[in-house]
Amino acid sequence: MDLKKFNKLLIVSLLLTLIACSEKPANSTLDDNVNSGLNSIEFANTIPSTANRDKLPNTSAGGVSLGLYNDKGVIEKDFNFNYNADEKINKFISIGNFINTDRVYKIILLIDYKQAKFSVDNREPEEDFTLEVKAGESVEIPFQLPNLDRGLHDILFVIIKSPENKSFDEEYRKKTDMNHLLFLRFSTVIQEETVNEQIKYNEYGIIENNSMLDGLLVTKNNDLKRWLTQNVASHDILNYYIRVGNNSNKQLKRYAVVNLFDWKQVDVIDDRKIVYFEVSKDNLVKLNSGFTINQDSGTYDLTTLLIHNPYQKLDIYNRDVETGIRVGVKVN
């Protein structure tokens, strides 16, 4: 293949994630609080629209594009950025909603696997930003990261599709498997590449010699049955199992694991909001996870994230993030 053509295709494939899922689920239950809490997308800081110049040809058939741009409106080709200690980190997230219906998106941020506030368009920092994107349009969102300490940092934006949909319908829940979140991940080096955290791998969980799994599996019980919905009472402890396996051709894989409930970070085990796994080839780690339900009556979403290669300078090959089903939890 011509090198120039290959590089062009590579850049496009790096920063555009296409997920052609435009149908609304049956028996949809919508959370009016989400729609009433939409943030304004009238921004003072702007770049040219990314709707036409960067989308892939088949987005006209339905899909979502996601990209990272600098403050000049140029698409970022790298996934690691170097800054001086006093520099501000300002960029744009582009969300292209190239489907035939309007859709709500919620954006949250994890810095070094911990949920953090961020500023949009120089507004007061918040833990999330919720917006509606019209059918066939894109929105370019100017953001600023909080001040970061010297060292290497892992930056992960999680974009939730249709956070207002609280359907308890099991068919809807099945359709969310690996299909309800978008991820925009990059690393920053502030002055030096030091990792400030002391990472302890396999501090929790049981290692099994088992090649059945590569990646993430979350179940309610100690079995392999798909977990879709759950009824609980407020102040109960919700327990479940997280399995992380490695049946790939890699001798060793490292991960960070994070739980989100109602799109807020909650404990994975005990009072730990992050756990780290190191999984050898043809092994898996099984963890009995749990946290206390503090929410009032209603239906909430539970999601586990499996973040590959923690605390690495990121490139196209090492920045994967996995998730599974958006489990519906009804608090009575």
Residue-range definition of the domain harbouring residue 161: 3-190
d(C-alpha 86, C-alpha 148), whole Å: 9
Query: Is 175 in the same domain as 278?
Result: no
pLDDT at 63: 86
Question: How many domains, the chain?
Answer: 2
Query: Is 157 in the same domain as 216?
Result: no
d(C-alpha 256, C-alpha 252), whole Å: 14
pLDDT in tens, the chain (332 residues): 444 444 444 443 444 444 433 334 444 566 666 666 899 999 999 999 888 655 544 444 458 999 999 999 999 999 999 999 999 999 999 999 999 999 999 999 999 999 999 999 999 999 999 999 999 999 999 999 999 999 999 999 999 999 999 999 999 999 999 889 999 999 999 999 999 999 999 999 999 999 999 999 999 999 999 999 999 999 999 999 999 999 999 999 999 999 999 999 999 999 999 999 999 999 999 999 999 999 999 999 999 999 999 999 999 999 999 999 999 999 99
The reported pTM is 0.89
Query: Is 59 in the same domain as 148?
Result: yes
pLDDT at 236: 95
pLDDT at 18: 42
**Per-residue H/E/C for the chain:** CCHHHHHHHHHHHHHCCCCCCCCCCCCCCECHHHHHCCCCCCCCCCCCCCCCCCCCHHHHHCEEEEEEECCCCCECCCCEEEECCCCCCEEEEEEEEECCCCEEEEEEEEECCEEECEEECCCCCECEEEEEECCCEEEEEEEECCCCCCEEEEEEEEEEECCCECCCCHHHHHHCCCCCEEEEEEEEEECCCCCCCCCCECCCCEEECCCCCCEEEEECCCCCCCCCEEEECCCCEEEEEEEEEECCCCCEEEEEEEEEECCEEECCECCECCEEEEEECCEEEEEEEEEECCCCCEEEEEEEEEEECCCCCCCCCCCCEEECCCEEEEEC
Query: Is 159 in the same domain as 222?
Result: no
Residue pointed to by tokens 């099984």? 286
**Is 198 domain-assigned?**
no
pLDDT at 66: 94
Query: Is 158 in the same domain as 220?
Result: no
Query: Is 232 in the same domain as 152?
Result: no
Centre a 10 Å sphere on the Cβ of residue 151 and count the other Cβ atoms it contains: 17
Amino acid at 34: V
Amino acid at 249: N
**Residue 270, domain CATH:** 2.60.40.10
Query: Is 175 in the same domain as 309?
Result: no
**Is 197 domain-assigned?**
no
Domain end position, chosen among 130, 162, 190: 190
Query: Is 148 in the same domain as 234?
Result: no
Query: Is 226 in the same domain as 259?
Result: yes
pLDDT at 178: 87
